């Protein structure tokens, strides 16, 4: 049986006549977390947004199991963790996570149970009822991760998900992302964090909007290694 695949083929993207991405081809496979690494400005965030269907490439194609990623049926299966978090500031942490289930029609009991469990898993139980704008940057980051993971998406795309976290919470978030890969999700993480990259199955290095290296790691497929 062929593994579920997210693929960018010869993708190009320009902003103000400047090439942000040039002929980028990337393949991410279910169960094998992929790290995109590179200096600031290398094109990681832009590529992640294109993989998630938030941006339309000027050239090339992005597909999920051979279906265009911008199709609504595909985009609904993608969980995104953005650098700006994308939270509703006046909503509590709990509400920001629960809304992902509410929008998919889950019943109240399931929403309450799953939301509370997801927040607890990411060390956020004690701030669940605080509004998002009262949370620290690291707490907001973990709420964004919780919201992306709670619907058990087929694809998880995370942009610098550990950037503002201490060592303990970085490990919690990374374990949660790797657990998503273990259950069969495609997980792609853009990160400057060498620990994140080392714990992924493979790394793609970008520089000046181009893929310059692809490296397999010694990842064993279990969180906590």
> Residue 106 belongs to a domain with what CATH number?
3.40.50.300
Q: Is residue 41 part of a domain?
A: yes
Q: Is the pLDDT assigned to residue 179 strictly greater than 60?
A: yes
Q: Is residue 107 part of a domain?
A: yes
pLDDT in tens, 88-132: 999 999 999 999 999 888 999 999 999 999 999 999 999 999 999
Q: Is residue 20 part of a domain?
A: yes
How many domains are contained in the chain? 1
Q: Is residue 224 part of a domain?
A: no
Q: Is residue 221 part of a domain?
A: no
Q: Is residue 144 part of a domain?
A: yes
Task: Average the pLDDT over 137-145 and give the result.
Answer: 96
Q: How many CB atoms lie within 10 A of CB 95?
A: 18
**Predicted confidence band of residue 224 (pLDDT cuts 50, 70, 90):** very low
Distance, in Å, from the CA atom of 8 to the CA atom of 149, rounded to the nearest integer, reads 23
pLDDT in tens, 63-81: 999 999 999 989 889 999 9
Q: Which has more confidence, 158 or 215?
A: 158
Cβ distance 124 to 132 under 8 Å?
Answer: no
Query: According to the model, what pLDDT value does residue 166 have?
Result: 93
- Percent of the chain clearing pLDDT 90 (strictly above): 82
The domain containing residue 74 runs over which residues?
Answer: 5-216
Query: According to the model, what pLDDT value does residue 1 have?
Result: 44
Please indicate, yes or no, whether the overall pTM of this predicted structure exceeds 0.95.
no
Query: According to the model, what pLDDT value does residue 20 have?
Result: 97
Q: Is residue 169 part of a domain?
A: yes
Q: Is residue 150 part of a domain?
A: yes
Q: What is the mean pLDDT of the chain?
A: 92
**Predicted confidence band of residue 217 (pLDDT cuts 50, 70, 90):** low
Query: According to the model, what pLDDT value does residue 24 have?
Result: 97
């Amino acid at each position: 049986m062929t593994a579920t695949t997210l693929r960018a083929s010869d993708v190009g993207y320009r902003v103000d006549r400047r090439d942000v991405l040039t002929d980028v081809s990337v393949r991410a496979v279910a169960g094998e977390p992929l790290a995109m690494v590179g200096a600031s400005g290398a094109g990681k965030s832009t590529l992640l947004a294109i993989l998630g269907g938030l941006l339309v490439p000027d050239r090339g194609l992005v597909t999920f199991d051979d279906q265009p990623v911008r199709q609504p049926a595909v985009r609904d299966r993608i969980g995104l963790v953005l650098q700006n978090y994308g939270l509703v500031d006046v909503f509590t942490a709990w509400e920001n996570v629960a809304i992902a289930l509410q929008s998919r029609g889950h019943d109240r009991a399931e929403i309450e149970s799953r939301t509370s469990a997801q927040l607890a898993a990411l060390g956020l139980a004690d701030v669940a009822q605080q509004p998002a704008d009262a949370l620290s940057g690291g707490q907001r980051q973990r709420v964004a991760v919780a919201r992306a993971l709670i619907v058990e998406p087929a694809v998880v795309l995370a942009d610098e998900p550990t950037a503002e976290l201490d060592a303990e919470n970085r490990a919690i978030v990374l374990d949660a992302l790797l657990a998503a890969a273990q259950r069969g999700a495609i997980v792609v993480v853009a990160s400057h964090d060498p620990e994140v990259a080392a714990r992924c199955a493979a790394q793609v290095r970008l520089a000046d909007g181009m893929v310059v290296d692809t490296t397999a790691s010694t990842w064993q497929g279990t969180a906590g290694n």
